Amino acid sequence: MEHYKLDWHRFNLRQKMEGLSPVTVEEFERKTGADMSSISGSESDSEEGDSDSDYGGTSSNVTGTDNESSSENSLISGRLSSKVVFQNSAGQYLSVHRCILQGKQRNEEIDLVLSLKAVNKKTVWVILMTGGGHFAGAVFRKEVIQHKTFHRYTVRAKRGTAQGLRDAQNRSHAPKSAGAALRRYNEAALDIQDILVSWVDHLKEASAIFVRSPSYNKSIFFGGRTAALDKKDSRIHSIPFATRRATFREVQRVHEVLGNIQVYNETDMSFIFSQSKKMWKTVDDTWEYSVRDALFTACKIGDVDGLQRLLNDPKPVEKMGTAEETETSNVKTPLIFLNKPIDSSGFTLLHVASTAAQKEVVKCLLDIGADPACDNKGQTPYNVAPEKDTRNVFRKFMGENPDKYDYSKAQIPGPLTAEIESKKLEKKKAQKAQKKQREKEQKEEKKKQEMEAEEKKRFAALSDREKRALAAERRLAEQAAATGVSISNARCWMCGESLLGKIPFQYLDFTFCSPRCVQQHRK
Residue 52 φ/ψ region, left for φ over 0, alpha for ψ in the -120 to 50 degree band, beta for the rest: alpha
Annotated catalytic residue, options 15, 105, 146, 163: 163
As a whole number of angstroms, the distance between CA 119 and CA 94 comes to 15
Please choose, from the candidates 25, 144, 13, 125, the residue with its C-alpha nearest in 3D space to the C-alpha of residue 75: 25
Q: Rounded distance, CA 146 to CA 139, Å?
A: 5
Neighbour tally for 310: CB within 10 Å: 18
Which contacts (CB < 8 Å, 24+ apart) does range 4-7 have? 5/77, 5/78, 5/81, 6/74, 6/77, 6/78, 7/32, 7/36, 7/39, 7/40, 7/63, 7/74, 7/77, 7/78
Q: d(Cα 91, Cα 424) in Å, to the nearest integer?
A: 65
The C-alpha atoms of residue 59 and residue 88 are separated, in whole angstroms, by 8
| 177, 159 contact by CB (below 8 A) | no
Q: Spell out a b/e string for 14-39, using b for 16 or more CB atoms within 10 Å of the CB, else e.
A: eeeeeeeeebeeeebbeebeeebbeb
Contact of 134 with 245, CB cutoff 8 Å: yes
CB 10 within 8 A of CB 40: yes
Helix orientation angle between 304-311 and 283-301, rounded to the nearest 10 degrees: 150
Instruction: For residue 262, indicate whether it is catalytic.
Output: no
Whether 131 and 246 have beta carbons less than 8 Å apart is answered as yes
Contacts of residue 263, defined as CB under 8 A and 6 or more positions apart, other chains included, come to: 92, 93, 94, 318, 319, 320, 321, 326
Q: How far, in Å, are 3, 258, 321, 398 from residue 124 at the CA level?
A: 35, 13, 19, 51
Residue 47: C-alpha distances to residues 58, 132, 269, 325 (Å)? 7, 43, 18, 24
Catalytic residues: 163
